[in-house]
Every structure is written in C-alpha cells, then in structure tokens.
Amino acid sequence: LPADFDWRDHGAVTGVKNQGSCGSCWSFSTTGALEGANFLATEKLVSLSEQQLVDCDHECDPEEPGSCDSGCNGGLMNSAFEYTLKAGGLMREEDYPYTGTDRGACKFDKSKIAASVANFSVVTLDEDQIAANLVKNGPLAIAINAVFMQTYVGGVSCPYICSRRLDHGVLLVGYGSAGYSAVRMKEKPYWIIKNSWGESWGDGGYYKICRGRNICGVDSMVSTVAAVQTSS
C-alpha cells in the first residue's frame, strides 16, 4: 500500500457539494462512492444526482420495518446502493439538480441513467483492508460521529475521546501518512474525508481524522461499490 494516497489527485472526486439544511448526508456519500467507481469503470468523472436519491429512494431495511431511506429525514448508504441497483442507476447532477428539500415528486428518467451499480459490499473494520479497498476500488462510503465536526476548522482531528455512535455519512477519498499531533508529539497517519457542507467548512470542505483507533467510529461502516459502464 502506498504511504499516502488521494483519489483527488487521480481525478476521481467531484467538487465539494452542499447538502444545505437537509439530513441528506447519506445521499452525498452514496453518489461520491459511485462517482469514483464510475470514474474507474469509464475514466469519466460525472457528478451524480443526490436529489434522485432524496426524492425516489425509499428503500427499507428488509429486517427492520420503518427503517427506510427518507430524504431529508435521513437514510443509509447501503440501502441507497440497494435502491440504485434496483432502479438501474443514477442520473447526472445536471439532469436532476439538487434542491435540498424532499417535498418534490420523483422525477427519475430511466433513459438518462449516467452510472449504474454492479455490486456493493461492506469492508471489514481492519484499517489496512479499508486502505486497500480504497486504493483498489475508489472512494468509499463511510459513516462517522460528527460531534467534533461542528466546531472543526482545520488540521488533523485526533480527539482523546469521541463517541462511536454513527450519525453522519461522508466519503473517504484518501489517507496521509504524516499529520502532526501535538499531544502525541509525533506524526500520525490520517484519513482524508470529503464532507457535504460546502467548501467554506473545514479544510476546504474536507475533514482529516487520524487513523488507528476507529476514532469517532470512522472504520465502523465502510462500503465499497463497483460500477458498470453505461452509455447515456
């Protein structure tokens, strides 16, 4: 595994987006992973539609009635991949733009699918496996506890204590080997995470969190997706 790796350097990551006042983080994590996978499959970076997921994806957890993807009221990346698999794919952002509300009807147009899911899987908690899947399969949809993110401005976050109760969906795009940790007075490896709160938040819209201890649950829910090549 390379010591440092960042899919942004390979053109597989679209610009930072903004979910606005809507609990739709799950849809941005899903599109980010599929944008990366589609780039690997087609060598074309296409921005995909979160609004399609917000409006049309009501996939439920088969074993837990009522636990369904629900637009601005929340969802889950794995369920969103399931929906995308069944629907045939996602449209382009420009064909189905984001509005940040979930009051609209579903406007999915099957003839305008820009990327499709071939399959998706869950990566184990092992950080080397997560890094290997990241390098091999593209950016990964992950979940994290966002408690420190409300006040985060920059640097590598490495809190002494942090809840592992997952409440936010984001995109793992890379990792670095040397973020300095003052309290530990040494360089620490860190994950590079793309968030969906706009570029003015955090480190240009990104969040860096140190690796090694499943801090804030960052290793707990990691999904990788493979795309098929579609022509639209």
Partner 1 sequence: AEDPLIKQVVDGAEGEALTDHHHFSIFKRKFGKSYASQEEHDHRFKVFRANLRRARRHQKLDPSAVHGVTQFSDLTPSEFRRTYLGLRSKLRLPKDATQAPILPTDS
Site residues (CB under 8 A) for partner 1, limited to 67-86: 67, 69-70, 72-76, 78-79, 81-82, 85
Is 188 one of the binding residues for partner 1 (CB under 8 A)?
A: yes
DSSP for 95-122 reads TS---S-S-SPP---GGGEEEEEEEEEE
Rule CB under 8 A: choose which of 120, 175, 191, 206 binds partner 1. Answer: 120
Is 214 one of the binding residues for partner 1 (CB under 8 A)?
A: no
Rule CB under 8 A: choose which of 147, 199, 228, 230 binds partner 1. Answer: 147
Name, in order, each residue with C-beta under 8 angstroms of 24's C-beta and a sequence gap of 6 or more: 50, 53, 54, 71, 72, 75, 100, 102, 196
Rule CB under 8 A: choose which of 132, 177, 204, 214 binds partner 1. Answer: 132
Chain centre distance of CA 151? 20
The one catalytic residue in 25, 56, 158, 162 is: 25
* Residue 133 and residue 222 in contact, taking contact as beta carbons nearer than 8 Å: yes
Is 124 one of the binding residues for partner 1 (CB under 8 A)?
A: yes
In the bound complex, what is the minimum distance in angstroms from residue 10's beta carbon to partner 1? 18
The one catalytic residue in 68, 168, 210, 216 is: 168
Burial class (CB in 10 A: 0-12, 13-18, 19+), 211: buried
Which amino acids are annotated catalytic? 25, 168, 195
